[in-house]
Structure 1
Amino acid sequence: MRKFLLAGVALATLASGSAYAQMSDDVIKIGMLSDRSGIYADINGEGSAIAARMAAEEFGNAINGTKIEIIVGDHQNKADIAANLARQWIDTEKVDVVADVPNSAAALAVQGITRDKKRLFLMSGPGSTDLTGKDCSPYGFQWTWDNHAVASATARALVEQGRKSWYFITADYAFGHSLENEAAKTVKELGGTVKGSVRHPLGASDFSSFLLQAQASGADVVAFANAGGDTINGVKQAAEFGIPQSGQTLAGLLLNVNDIHALGLETSQGLMLANSFYWDMNDETRAWSKKFEERTGRKPSMNQAGVYSAVRHYLKAVQEAGTDDADKVAAKMRGMPITDMMMKEAKIADNGRIFADMYLAQVKTPAESEHAWDYFKIVKTVPADQAYIDPKNSGCPLVK
């Protein structure tokens, strides 16, 4: 009898252990790589890490008894630092997935490393369409938005209102160049013209010379092809120069609710923008955003909401697959629709682009705003297949 009991215990141990054997290193490790101290710290940064933790907590911080661990790093908006951190995390700390990574240059560097080392990459900050285009990866997923979606929707809305001549003030790196190109393409397709552009360094504090050139162009629209602190500084200084008062329209091609909070409604009222998420859309978004605000003191940006959605879907795929093996989890992620407080039945294309609806919004006037963070009027829903580039036209070699 004792022998039978021991044999039974041994078999039970093997059976229960088989589920865990599929998890590498007895931990599911997520590396949150973000800008924690620069111009994107407000729209990503610590808020992205908190959003990832909120997703992990929905699983009890463990899957089938395997602990979920989240580590955090700052890439300082430098591609080499991002690449080195990603490589170190994968090689020495056994990170299973890298997430967030605002800054397209940094993301493109990390995309190459995660592709080579077969680790998943969940992007909720970079906008370059190359990430799901010529530089796509079977392990890379671009979650929240991209330059085509935000720039094209905003440009189309303004040109259709009769604002047909444009001048761009552009961040001088991969993200800014791509953002300008996508907007300019839409302007020209709709019969508009581009009167010129000027490029500024990342993290610029003085936009005066750039604004003077934009003002002198006489363009209907002065468009900021930048983000975060650069957009905030540019729009504030444009208002001081009297550019909106003189009849030129200001357009931020990538704006988050946090940017409007920093600018104030007096300065930003009337701005058009495209977002994939707004905290005040429905009861579900309001409930999640309330939990986020209790931890951060502010409402979430679309980037931070996207981190939550991406990490949650990844963990759900790990749970369904019973493993954290990158190839098996990636296949499971592609096979399941994404449904959460941010997205409903969203699909993942062969090039890693997540297809979910975008929303065209206009910033409220101070008189229209009823309380703190009540900033957006949703003007139009842009269906996913209209918001994003058709994968067949993306240039991604993975597309069948």
Structure 2
Amino acid sequence: MTSAVQLPFEQPCPFQAAPLLRELQTAGPVHRIRTAVGAEAWLVTGYEHVRRLLDDDRLGRSHPEPANAARTGESALFGGPLGDFETEHADHARMRSLMQPHFAPKRMRALRPRVEALTAGLLDELAEHGSPADLNEALALPLPIAVICELLGVPYEDRAQFRAWTQAAADVQDRARSERGLYDLFTYGQELVARKRREPGDDVISRLSTAEGIGDDEAAGMAMSLLFAGHETTVVAIGMGAVQLLTNPAQWQALLADPTRIGRAVEEILRTEGLGGGGIPRYARSDLEIAGVSVRAGELVLLDTGAANHDGSVFPDPDRFDVGRHDAGHMTFGHGAHYCIGAPLARLELEAAFSQLIPRFPTMRLAVPVEELVLNTRTLTGGLLGIPVTW
């Protein structure tokens, strides 16, 4: 296919890949497309190409002429270019060096008992509430929020407020709403940083606020980036993972019979949660070639990790959900210099959620046909608007 195709692709079922995307993947690894706002871009769907390009410094998030750059959508967060074109790589390296220690393996191991206790408490409340219930509201949403609040030092009682701001900031359809949400979130971060400077505690924001060489605004920006990324994507992963297991009862029973398979199941949940049809936005910093296709400097390139995670040349029978899968690693957390620093935390939360949910509610099932579940198409992270369950 040489003509540009339009995003988003038509997806008849929320848990099945868009037929056109699979058709494109069969045709080759890179394709000319138009984004949801009509901008021309390149969509890369092949596993090996996405993996290599994720760690290619000829691509970046910035653009030399931001006002003229192609956009993926109206989100102020990821709809267009971010950062300074001249200093992007150095800025990114510095940011990672400041944030990565807070997610070191030792810290995550120390956090595990608390995550498990929070999970148990939420499941106690679910049992007390009784059947039927919304698993999204009972577990997928509150667990990541509670964990990130404790880790960062954000008051849990503010959760409804900052959740509304993060959802607004992630709006891919309304630029004004997205910009307002981002502003409100940053203002909240400034208030938290000021408070932590006066009364520091044993939390990430306190450590960022009192670290040498970090100004108030930078600390607030990093803190709110962690707050957004630290709960939004995990909410989606828990919800989508639960539905994958509930619609594949043999897989649910396999984990009930052998809890040692939870770790592998989490990786399969992470692999399959995104079906593709979008991708991580990057701008070409120079002319380059991708799979024989010439990409010009400044053009938008979408690295579709969801499609790559369903590349049949790497993952046999890629659309099959299998908690016993032994395949190449997925790229849900990215690759190389941009690999997600929060990956250990997300894995910890997913393991806690499913290692307790399944034995605690062995007969749980969806209370509605899977076709009736509704995806949130308005926000960057997506996810389900509700997961009605019974047991």
Q: What is the TM-score normalised by the length of structure 2?
A: 0.27
Higher strand share: 1
Q: Which has the higher contact order (CA 8 A, sep 6+)?
A: 2
Q: What is the TM-score normalised by the length of structure 1?
A: 0.27
